[in-house]
Amino acid sequence: MTESVAGPVPAPPAPPVPLSALLSREDLGLRLIAGPDEADVHWVHTSEMADPYPYLLGGELLMTAGVQLVDPERYVARVVAAGAAALGFGVTPVYDTVPEGLVAACARHGLPLLEVPPRTPFAAVGRAVWRLMAEARHRELRRVTEAQQSLATAAARPDPVPAVLHALASRLAGRAALYAPDGTEYAAAGRAVEPEAAAALARLVRVLGAGARPASAADTVGGTHLAAYALGGGHGLALGLASGRREPGDHTIAGVAVVLLSLLTAPHQGADEATRSTALVRLLLGAAPAEVAPLLGDAPWTVVHARGEGVPPPLGTPLVDVREGTVRALLPAGRDIAPHPGWTLGVSAPADPSQLGAADLQAARALGRARAAHLPLARHRTGGIGALLDPDEASAYARSLLAPLPEPLTETLRAWLSLNGNWDRTATALGVHRNTVRQRIARCAALLEADLDDAEVRMELWFALRWL
């Protein structure tokens, strides 16, 4: 049904490179001569334009030799307004030293200014940034994978809940606790937090139990990062986390812990419940769905999603996940599924155990179509990708997916994808330089937190742009 905890995990987004990491590279020989020594560099951009503002996306280390540097004050003001992280100035062939006016302007505007020695090509600085980003991403992915393995091992211990909390607190270098719906803490591990932060975390937990019941909530108090996650199982428990830092992969690690703790704290009601829990534990610890299916009965299966009020529809299966107003059920294919008063149902096509994940998506889409058309029940229908989603639903998803992109970047992405990622043809179509296209696409990848070299990501974005 889901990817196993012990299996592959989504790669966390590439973190920016601290300016201090570049300054510490002896092979580059960079020297900070103005501004703060702390900044986050997302990429490197070289420009000899008198006003580079139109070509900057924010977060750059802007490299220049000052070929058209006439008014340092205005130049620095425009670079800062564009959101650049720092300025790198190469001495020779135009200047023998960094101009004093540029140093003074950077100091006034708080823009880090680096002196780039003649022996260091600008391309070497760019290569160093990309390598540092790749190394950081690899370290974060390895940290997430090791954390998953640690949590899965803890869940198999005789006293699993405290073990999972301890493993989680250790991996996040903070505190992990289980809370009742009223914000009362009754199980915890890790270092204590300041009273103000503890009170704020309890408030976050209460937010999860009120109103629309969000799945998670976050806050920062006095430098302590707080997050709360609702557990499944219908008992209202929540996981609260407090740490002094927030890394890109922390949310993924917390998600694994939420799944395990939801399973471990769910009420058990006899042999059938124990059998289902055994199946779920095996899935979480890496077993293939086909190996687990015999514990659940005969294949094939049908997945049903339902939303409504009142008594849930009788689906004739014990494999039901019931939350307030929602139902997800797994039942043997061939069972009669009928409309139920007050509820809207979406039904998947019959699926083998290895295809249950796809069937779950089919049921969710069918439910969305039924709700949009005001039908009591809708079944999965074939007929190509266009038939999988209601047009209104597809448009809403496209708007949500592409929301981080401003209009110029959206049009650049549309042109680039339509031309199969060809930089020169895209630049010609848009009437800009190919380096501008590269910078804009890099900015798209950062804002979307997506790997645009992945064919599946490109395909999803292309369909979203068409639906938009």
Average pLDDT, the chain: 82
The confidence score (pLDDT) of residue 384 equals 55
pLDDT at 3 over 80: no
The confidence score (pLDDT) of residue 11 equals 44
Which of the given ranges, 95-99, 136-140, 360-364, has the highest pLDDT on average? Answer: 95-99
Of 198-212, 352-366, 435-449, which range is least confident? 198-212
- Each domain of the chain, given as residue ranges in start order, spans 31-119, 141-265, 292-381, 393-467
Of 174-178, 240-244, 254-258, which range is least confident? 254-258
Of 83-97, 267-281, 346-360, 443-457, which range is least confident? 267-281
Which of the given ranges, 255-269, 286-300, 316-330, 337-351, has the highest pLDDT on average? Answer: 337-351
Q: Are 171 and 241 in contact (CB under 8 A)?
A: no
Complete edge-to-edge strand list for the sheet that includes strand 31-34:
31-34, 113-116, 86-90, 60-64, 43-46
pLDDT at 271 over 70: no
Please compute the mean of the pLDDT values over residues 82-108 and round it to a whole number. Answer: 94
Please compute the mean of the pLDDT values over residues 349-364 and round it to a whole number. Answer: 82
The confidence score (pLDDT) of residue 6 equals 35
CATH architecture of the domain with range 31-119: 3-Layer(aba) Sandwich (3.40)
pLDDT at 303 over 80: yes
pLDDT at 269 over 70: no
pLDDT at 270 over 60: no
Phi-psi region of 246 (alpha: psi -120 to 50; beta: other; left: phi over 0): beta
CA distance 463 to 456: 11
Cβ neighbours of residue 240 closer than 8 Å, sequence gap 6 or more: 175, 176, 177, 178, 179, 185, 201, 202, 204, 205, 226, 227, 228
The confidence score (pLDDT) of residue 293 equals 63
The confidence score (pLDDT) of residue 98 equals 96
CATH number of 141-265: 3.30.450.30
pLDDT at 273 over 80: no
CA distance 14 to 11: 8
pLDDT tier, 83 (very low <50, low <70, confident <90, very high otherwise) = very high
Please compute the mean of the pLDDT values over residues 98-114 and round it to a whole number. Answer: 96
pLDDT tier, 52 (very low <50, low <70, confident <90, very high otherwise) = very high
User: Looking at per-residue confidence, does 288 or 36 come out higher?
Assistant: 36
pLDDT tier, 292 (very low <50, low <70, confident <90, very high otherwise) = low
Q: Say whether pTM exceeds 0.75.
A: no
pLDDT at 59 over 60: yes
Domains 31-119 and 141-265 share a fold: no
Class of domain 393-467: mainly alpha
pLDDT at 2 over 50: no
CA distance 421 to 446: 17
pLDDT tier, 279 (very low <50, low <70, confident <90, very high otherwise) = low
Give exposure, 357-371, as e/b (b: 16+ Cβ within 10 Å).
eebbebbebbbbbbe
The confidence score (pLDDT) of residue 345 equals 92
What residues form DSSP beta bridges with 177? 188, 240
- Ordered DSSP codes for 2-46: ---TTS--PPPPPPPEEHHHHHT-TTTT-EEEES-S--EE-EEEE
Burial group, residue 228, by CB count within 10 angstroms (0-12, 13-18, 19+): buried
Q: What is the pLDDT of residues 311-329, one digit of tens each?
A: 777 777 767 777 777 888 8
User: Looking at per-residue confidence, does 295 or 156 come out higher?
Assistant: 156
pLDDT tier, 84 (very low <50, low <70, confident <90, very high otherwise) = very high
The confidence score (pLDDT) of residue 302 equals 87
